[in-house]
Chains A and B, each alone.
Chain A
């Protein structure tokens, strides 16, 4: 597996502001993903972060609201823009290891509360 860290671990933000979440991996990985987990719910994929190109977004998620960067094979950021209380959730990054098709390992998550 890989050691994955996320910053911040939690934050409280005001409506209308933005939060950028960082995901750092201790080794180079091919695939990085961003998920949202709303209270009491399962995981919903937001997008696949592609190194050197634009992220691939799932239905219902758009780049203007969730811009993603992936400058190299160990780091990615997710920004949640123009925050509303409905964005209160846990945001998780995960990585897929090369040669281990579809196995994903998750970071510790970022708990966002929007007031």
Chain B
């Protein structure tokens, strides 16, 4: 059974700080990794994906992947109150193209 683990939080950071969200996965063969943001009452929105070891930056967001440690993280720089949401980590589930989701980390950015 493939699993994706996240700290459920809540993670609280002050406005302007760096928020660090972490995720571990069980299947060493996983190749594709995703971060979704979900506001309360809304559907998940894809914000980052990463396939290779190392860092991938997009604006204020940086995804980090370490396949040896089976660890994915998302850094949000200059956090804003509008970043307050639940962040879901997802990992490819294999041949069907499906994703395995973690339970999500709730982030709260305080003004």
Which residues of A are in contact with B by a Cβ distance under 8 Å? 1, 30-31, 33, 41-45, 48, 56, 92, 96, 101-109
A43 with B97: in contact, given A102-B92, A103-B34 (CB under 8 Å)? Answer: no
Q: Please, which residues of chain B bring their CB within 8 A of the CB of A109?
A: 42-43
Contact A108 B102 (CB under 8 A): no
Contact A108 B43 (CB under 8 A): yes
B contact patch SS? loop
Contact B104 A42 (CB under 8 A): yes
A42 with B101: in contact, given A56-B96, A102-B92, A103-B34 (CB under 8 Å)? Answer: yes
User: Does any Cβ of A come within 8 Å of B88's Cβ?
Assistant: yes
User: Does any Cβ of A come within 8 Å of B44's Cβ?
Assistant: yes
Contact A48 B96 (CB under 8 A): yes
Contact B92 A106 (CB under 8 A): no
Q: Which 8 A-B pairs have the closest CB atoms?
A: A102-B32, A106-B43, A42-B103, A43-B101, A102-B92, A109-B43, A31-B97, A42-B101
